[in-house]
Structure 1
Amino acid sequence: MSEPARPVERLGGWGRRAFLNFVRGLIQIVVAYAAGLPLFILTVLSIAFIPLGVGVFLTPVMVAALRGVTNQQRLWAAEWSGVAIPLPYRSAPVGPSGRTGPFRRLGWLLGDPATWRDLLWSLLNVPIGLVLGLLGGGLTLYGLEGVFVAPLVAQMADYGWGPFWMLNDWGATGYAGTFVLASALIAVSVPAGTVALKAHALFCRSLLAPTRGALAARVERLAETRSDTVDASAAELRRIERDLHDGAQARLVALSMNIGLAEEMLKHDPETAARLLAEAREAGGTALTELRDLVRGIHPPVLAERGLEGAVRALALSLPLPVDVRIELPGRTDAPVESAAYFAVAEVLANVVKHSGARRAWVQVEHDGRRLLMIVGDDGTGGADPARGTGLRGIERRLAAFDGTLAVTSPAGGPTVVTMELPCALSSPRTSPSSGTA
C-alpha cells in the first residue's frame, strides 16, 4: 500500500511553488526578527561587557549562536535558490592539551573578519529580510485575498452589513477591476517570489561568503600546496624506485643467479647445489619481506581493513614506548585523506622515538563535524622545530595537499605537542567511539 501524499504534494506545480515561496518568505522574516535581531543585540552587549569579564565567556556563546543562524542561512540559500555560500571562518586554535583557553578563543573569534560580517548581516537582514520575505511569500497571499475576499466584501456591502455599507457605491466595475488585478498578481507571484528569494540569497552571499582578498589568498595557498604536493609525489616515487632497485630487485637478481648456478651444479656437486638453493630460498623470503614493507609504506593493509582508528592503534602497539590512544570517530573519511592522516601521525610518532627521548606519548584523534583533528604529544626533551627538519616539514607538505595545517608546541625541556587538522567529512557511521591505551 503506497504512502499517502503530503498536502503540499497534492498541489499542482504552480500551487506547490506558491506554497513553498510563501513558507520560505515567512521563514526569512521570522529568522530576521526572532533570531538575527536579538542575536545582534546580545552579541554587541556581550562584546561591550568584555572589560567587565563576563563578556569573555558570553561573547563566544553569542558568536557561536550567530554562526549557527548564518550557517543555516547558507544551507537555505543553496537549497532554495542554488546560491552556494562557502564557509569563511578561520580554523580554531588548539592548545597543548587539545583545548583552547577563553582568552585565546575570544581573540580568535574577534580577530576573524567573518565574525563582524556575520554581525553586520544580522542587522541588515532585518529590513532586507522583511522586504524580500514579503515579496517572496506575500504576493500570492495578497492576490488570493483580492480574488476570494473582495467578492465577499462586496456581497456584505450589498446587504449593508457592518462597516461595508460605505462600499456600496463602488459598483461592479470596481470589484471586477480588483478581481482582475488580483488574478494578475497571483499569476506573477510565483516567478516574482522566486526572484525575491534568490535576491535574498545573493544578499546573504555578499556578506556571508569569503571576501575577494580571502579567496585570492586561498588560491595562492592552493597553488603553493599543489607545487609542494607535486614535489612530494616525485620524491615519493624516487624513494619507491630506489627501494625497489637497491632492495627487492637486487635480491631477486641474486636469487635468479643462485638458481641458475644450482641447476648447473646439481649433477656434478649436489651439496653445493643444495647450499645455493638454500641461499636462494632465504633471499626470496627476504625480498618478499622487503616488498611487504614497501607496500605498507605506500598504503598499509590494516588501514584499508580497519580504518584510521585500527591502523593508529596497531602502529602504537609496535612502538618501543607506551602510547595512550584516544580516538573518537563516528565514521571513516575518504581513502586519500585517511592515508594522509595515518602517515602524518606515523611520522610524528617516529620523530618521538628517534629524537625526543620520551618515556611516554599520547595520540588523540577526533572529528568535530568539519575537520579531522589529530594531536600527538610526548613527555620528551622538547625543542622540535619544523624549520630544522626532523620530518615535520614533510608532514606539513603532506597535510597542505588536503588544505590541512600543522602546529607545533615544543618548548625546551618539553613537552612536545603536534596538532594537525584536515578538513574533511565522515561517512560510514559507526555505533560508538572507543578509547584506550596501546
Structure 2
Amino acid sequence: MSTERSSVRAALGRAASRGLTGLEQLIGGFGTAVVALLLLMVIVVTAVASLAGVGLLAVPVVARTVRSLANRERHRLARYDVDLPELDPPTRGVRGALADLSLRRELGWIAVHATLGFLIGLIGVLLPLFALRDLTFFLWWWIGPETPSTTSIGIGHVDSPFEALWATLLGVGWVALIIGVVPNIARVQSWPARKLLVPDPSVDLSMRVAELTSTRAAALDAHAVELRRIERALHDGSQNRLVAVNVLLGAARRALTRNPDEAEAILARAQDAAETALAELRAVARSILPPVLADRGLAGALTGLASASAVPCEAEIDVSGRCAASVEATAYFVVAEALTNVAKHSGAQQARVTAALRGGKLLVEITDDGHGGANAENGSGLDGIRRRIEAYDGVLRLDSPKGGPTILAVELPCGS
C-alpha cells in the first residue's frame, strides 16, 4: 500500500513539474510574442515605406533585429530540449537581407508568433492569476462578504459561504488545467518555431560542409602532430639507444683480441642499452594504442588512470558498451593529458573523472579543485586536445574561472 502511495505521489510530482515547466514556457513565449508584435508593426511600416524607396534604408537594421529576436527564441526553446541552432547576422545591405532564405522563414515566424503565439501566451499569463484568485476566493470573500463578488471568469454573484467554497473548487480546476493541459498548449505555441526557425536546407548543407572541412583539417593536423610525436620519441630515444648499442658492439669486437675481460664489460653495457631501447619502443607502441584498452576496456583503463594520478582522483565510470577503438583511445589520451595538466599546473588537492554513454555519445568530464585559469587558446596543451576531439566531430567545453574549480567536458560520437 505504501509503495502504491509513493508511486502516486511521484506521478503527481512529475505531472506538477511538467505543468510548471509548460507554464514557464508559455509565459516566456508571451514575452517574445509581445516583442514580435511590435516588430511586426515595424516590418509593415518599413515594407510600405520601401515602396516609395524611403524604407530601403531601414531594411538591413530590421533584418538584423528579426535575426536577433529569432536567435533569442532559439536560445529560449533550447532550455526545453528544442534544438534550433542559432544563425549568424544576415549579410549587410538590402540585397543580402532579401536573399537570405532563413530570414524569410523568420519573417513567417514573426507573423505567426506575434498573433497565435501572443494569444496562446496570454493563456499562460492568465491561468495562474485565475488559479490564485479562485483558490483564495473564500478568504477574501470572508473578509468582505458584503461586497458583491464574482469568480475569476465572472460567473454569478457569490452571496454565501457555500457558494464561496464552490468558487474555491473552481481554483482547483484551474490548477488541474495547468498540470494536465498547459504542457500541450506550450508545444502548440512552440510549433511555428520548430517548423520555421530551423535553418534553410541549403544553408544547413553549406554549414555542414564547412564544419566537415574544418574537422577534416583538424583530423589531418592531429594526425601530423601524432606522427611528429612518434618520430621524436623514436629519434630522441630508441634511435640513440640503438646507436649506442652499435658503438658498444664495435668496441667489444675490437676489445676481444686485446682484452677479453674489457669486452665482456662492454657487452654488458650494450645489453643494458638494448633492453632500455626495447622498453622505449614498447612505450612508443603503447602510446599509439594503449593495450590496456583491449585488456580491460575503457572503464578499466580510465579507472587505472585515476588511481595512478599524482593528485588524488575519484572515478565514476558508467560505460557498459564499447565504442570505436579510435574513440576510446582519444578518450583515454584526453583523460591522461588532463590529469597530467592537473598535477603540473592546477595546484589541486582533489580531482574527479566521470564517463558515461548517453544517446550514442561518450561523455567524459574531468574536474579539479585547483586555482583555475586554464584556457584552450592556440599553442596550449588543451588546444591540442581540442583539435584531436574535433577530428571526431566531438565537442570540448572548458569552464575554468579564476579561483577554480576547473571542469573539462568532452563529448565524442560513439561510432562503431
TM-score range, shorter chain: 0.5 to 0.7
Asked if 1:402 corresponds to 2:402, the answer is no
Q: Distance in 2 between matches of 1:320 and 1:306?
A: 21
Q: Distance in 1 between matches of 2:212 and 2:85?
A: 21
Whichever residue aligns with residue 79 of structure 2, its letter is G
Asked if 1:362 corresponds to 2:329, the answer is no
Whichever residue aligns with residue 256 of structure 1, its letter is N
Root-mean-square deviation (Å):
3.3
Aligned to 1:222: 212
TM-score calculated relative to the size of structure 2: 0.54
Residue 388 of structure 1 deviates from its aligned partner by: 5.9
Residue 376 of structure 1 deviates from its aligned partner by: 0.2
Q: Distance in 1 between matches of 2:325 and 2:195?
A: 32
> Match for 1:260 among 240, 250, 255?
250
Q: Pairwise mapping of residues 172-321 of structure 1 onto structure 2 (< 5 A)?
A: 211-321=201-311
Residue 49 of structure 1 deviates from its aligned partner by: 4.4
Task: Label 1:354 to 1:105 Cα distance change in 2 as closer, same or farther (>3 A).
Answer: farther
Contact 2:311 2:342 (C-alpha < 8 Å) held by counterparts: no
Contact 1:356 1:381 (C-alpha < 8 Å) held by counterparts: yes
Q: Distance in 1 between matches of 2:297 and 2:28?
A: 44
Deviation string, structure 1 residues 269-300 (Cα, Å, up to 9, x no partner): 12211111111011012111111111121111
Contact 1:406 1:418 (C-alpha < 8 Å) held by counterparts: yes
Aligned to 1:112: 84
Residue 367 of structure 1 deviates from its aligned partner by: 0.9
Q: Distance in 2 between matches of 1:286 and 1:299?
A: 21
Q: Distance in 2 between matches of 1:367 and 1:403?
A: 16
Deviation string, structure 1 residues 219-267 (Cα, Å, up to 9, x no partner): 1011011112112212221221222122111111210221122122123
Task: Label 1:214 to 1:318 Cα distance change in 2 as closer, same or farther (>3 A).
Answer: same
Contact 2:349 2:370 (C-alpha < 8 Å) held by counterparts: yes
Contact 1:328 1:366 (C-alpha < 8 Å) held by counterparts: yes
Q: Distance in 2 between matches of 1:238 and 1:388?
A: 18
Contact 1:325 1:362 (C-alpha < 8 Å) held by counterparts: yes
Task: Label 1:350 to 1:113 Cα distance change in 2 as closer, same or farther (>3 A).
Answer: closer
Contact 1:351 1:390 (C-alpha < 8 Å) held by counterparts: no
Aligned to 1:59: none
Aligned to 1:352: 342
Asked if 1:330 corresponds to 2:308, the answer is no
Q: 3-state DSSP class of the match of 1:412?
A: coil
Contact 1:405 1:421 (C-alpha < 8 Å) held by counterparts: yes
Q: 3-state DSSP class of the match of 1:387?
A: coil
Q: Distance in 1 between matches of 2:76 and 2:366?
A: 21
Contact 2:85 2:198 (C-alpha < 8 Å) held by counterparts: no
Whichever residue aligns with residue 317 of structure 2, its letter is I
Residue 108 of structure 1 deviates from its aligned partner by: 6.6
Q: Distance in 2 between matches of 1:366 and 1:284?
A: 42
Q: Distance in 2 between matches of 1:240 and 1:51?
A: 55
> Match for 2:381 among 378, 391, 397?
391
Deviation string, structure 1 residues 139-184 (Cα, Å, up to 9, x no partner): xxxxxxxxxxxxxxxxxxxxxxxxxxxxxxxxxxxxxxxxxxxxxx
Aligned to 1:421: 411
Aligned to 1:178: none
Deviation string, structure 1 residues 48-74 (Cα, Å, up to 9, x no partner): 14589xxxxxxxxxxxxxxxxxxxxxx
Deviation string, structure 1 residues 304-350 (Cα, Å, up to 9, x no partner): 22221111122222221211000001201011111111111211111
Whichever residue aligns with residue 313 of structure 1, its letter is T
Task: Label 1:108 to 1:264 Cα distance change in 2 as closer, same or farther (>3 A).
Answer: farther
Whichever residue aligns with residue 320 of structure 2, its letter is P
Which deviates more from structure 2 when the two are superposed, residues 105-114 or residues 231-240? Answer: 105-114
Task: Label 1:364 to 1:42 Cα distance change in 2 as closer, same or farther (>3 A).
Answer: closer
Task: Label 1:407 to 1:108 Cα distance change in 2 as closer, same or farther (>3 A).
Answer: farther
Residue 417 of structure 1 deviates from its aligned partner by: 0.3
> Match for 2:26 among 43, 48, 51?
48
Whichever residue aligns with residue 273 of structure 2, its letter is A
TM-score calculated relative to the size of structure 1: 0.52
Q: 3-state DSSP class of the match of 2:234?
A: helix
Contact 1:369 1:425 (C-alpha < 8 Å) held by counterparts: no
Task: Label 1:249 to 1:108 Cα distance change in 2 as closer, same or farther (>3 A).
Answer: farther
Contact 2:375 2:398 (C-alpha < 8 Å) held by counterparts: yes
Q: Distance in 1 between matches of 2:385 and 2:258?
A: 57
Asked if 1:380 corresponds to 2:363, the answer is no
Q: Distance in 1 between matches of 2:400 and 2:245?
A: 48
Q: 3-state DSSP class of the match of 1:413?
A: coil
Aligned to 1:72: none
Q: Distance in 1 between matches of 2:371 and 2:398?
A: 14
Task: Label 1:390 to 1:104 Cα distance change in 2 as closer, same or farther (>3 A).
Answer: farther
